[in-house]
A and B are shown apart, each in its own frame.
Chain A
């Protein structure tokens, strides 16, 4: 069955069996291997992608369910090669060690800041509560998202454009 989706702003289509999971479609058909398979049982969030801007687990979704929708993977975060505020935050605050959970964490953080530009620590922790990190203890991940929130707020109020990609995505 033909599935057509927009991935990181580009129209993509492929002929897939209905049973093909979205994560396998992204990794195998589209070769976008930044979306990871961790637990494969809907527990860890390593496979997080944004579906029409909201984070979902691509291991618990069929590719055909995404028909006609817009998907952002970690590969879509850096606009024109410039790191998005979230990526800059993870870089500056050392928000990763092994990096396995990082794509999911950054996508969840991106969606959070789109909805809530000024989240509290509790709101950040709640937003990432479906994503498991086994390295950092979450402290620096929270700081990274705070850093991104501050950067975005500064960019929004600055008189001239800042050297970061606004908004991420696309």
Chain B
């Protein structure tokens, strides 16, 4: 298989990239690592007239910590997140989730930003970013704007990003108190899409949950934010009963479809079990003082 013919541009700067998109954004696809886009091009599910390869733009890669935030450059590869000792200490859900993405070869090429913009409902980063309450920085010829993760994912492979915009950075607020997170995934084999996966992040204050974020993978038309489950946690001590109730709420919010990976009932129950397990791990990590 090979893609249909396309024009190919490799902008040398971000300014050049957004100029190109300003002119031809509607006919173009932006490519970073290409690990989602190239399979779509080969299957000819996508046939853009132009591919804008931003994969080697300078200064859009890397992990930094500043002003109570973690920032990930959009071109940061999954493998960099997976191997980051700093993230393992500062935000363990990130390397934990990275470890489960596709397989090691794909993680060597694929980027965090590319995966987020691809917005596959079975993608892992979307749920993690929903749980972390991340902000996405979009750049266009008219400047920058910040899109909250909860507003970003609109449907299958559909985001709030305009055709003339490039995602350049992901900003993750680091909690002020004790926080912890976990990513739990069920897959049939390495490289398969998740049957179900769950991202949870909690922040504790005085023994009670001050903030909670729960994101669900592969159980809806997009990565879902389990808002009712989050609400069931905030202000409460994370007892087994409180966690069990939040897990029930998350399962109720899941909208899976029956497919080769399992029935609706099965997937909803996996959501319940994983939210429960994830929360217990997250609370334990928060108590250990891991961010």
Count of B residues near A, CB < 8 Å? 29
- The reply on A29 being an interface residue by CB < 8 A is no
Which of A16-24, A90-98, A153-161, A162-170 is the contact stretch? A16-24
> From residue 117 to 133 of chain A, which have CB atoms closer than 8 A to chain B?
126-127, 129-131
In the bound complex, what is the Cα–Cα distance between A18 and B43 (angstroms)?
Answer: 16
Contact with A along B1-22 (1 / 0, CB 8 A): 1111111101000000000000
A19-B41, A42-B35, A129-B190 known; A57+B105 contact, CB < 8 A: yes
A128 CB → nearest B CB, Å:
8
Question: Is B141 part of the contact surface with A, judged by Cβ < 8 Å?
Answer: no
Q: Are B109 and A56 in contact (CB under 8 A)?
A: yes
Verify A129–B103 contact, CB threshold 8 A. Answer: yes
- CA A164 – CA B102 in complex, angstroms? 35
A43 proximity list for chain B (CB < 8 A): 191
Question: Which one of B4, B10, B39, B105 contacts A130 once the chains associate, using CB atoms below 8 Å?
Answer: B105
Bound-complex Cα distance A43 to B10 (A):
27
The smallest C-beta distance from B204 to any residue of chain A, in angstroms, reads 32
A18 and B103 within 8 A (CB): no
How many chain A residues touch B (CB < 8 A): the figure is 30
Q: Does B228 contact A (CB under 8 A)?
A: no
Q: Which stretch from A58-66, A74-82, A143-151 is at the chain B interface?
A: A58-66
A130 touching B8, Cβ below 8 Å: no
Query: Does A110 interact with chain B (Cβ within 8 Å)?
Result: no
A130 touches B106 (CB 8 A): yes
Q: Is residue A45 contacting chain B, with contact meaning CB distance below 8 A?
A: yes
In the complex, chain A residues whose CB is within 8 Å of the CB of B105: 45, 48, 55-57, 108, 130-131
Which chain B residues border A64 with CB–CB below 8 Å? 8, 10, 53
Say yes or no: A65 contacts B34, CB within 8 Å.
yes
Once the chains are docked, how many angstroms separate the CA of A24 from the CA of B38? Answer: 14
A69 CB to nearest chain B CB (Å): 10
What residues of B have a CB within 8 angstroms of the CB of A61 in the complex? Answer: 34, 38, 109
Give B37's nearest chain A residue, CB to CB: A60
Residues of chain B contacted by A56 (CB below 8 angstroms): 105, 108-109
Given contacts A126-B104, A127-B104, contact A42 B34 (CB under 8 A): no
Within 8 A of A (CB), among B71-109: 79, 102-106, 108-109
Q: For the complex, is B55 an interface residue (Cβ under 8 Å from A)?
A: yes
Decide: B38 and A18 in contact? CB cutoff 8 A: no
Determine the distance from Cα of A1 to Cα of B10 in the docked complex, in whole angstroms: 12
Q: Please name all residues of chain B whose beta carbon is closer than 8 Å to the beta carbon of A40 when the two chains form the complex.
A: 1, 42
Which residues from B are CB-within-8-Å of A57? 105-106, 109
Q: Which residues of chain B have C-beta atoms less than 8 A from A45's C-beta?
A: 103, 105
Shortest Cβ gap from A90 to chain B (Å):
19
Asked if A18 and B7 sit within 8 Å, CB to CB, the answer is: yes
CB distance B108 to A54 under 8 Å? yes
Q: Contact at B39–A62, with CB atoms within 8 Å?
A: no
Can you list 9 A-B contacts (CB < 8 A)? A1-B8, A18-B6, A42-B39, A51-B109, A54-B79, A55-B105, A57-B109, A129-B103, A129-B190
Residues of B within 8 A of A (CB): 1-8, 10, 34-35, 38-39, 41-43, 51, 53, 55, 79, 102-106, 108-109, 190-191
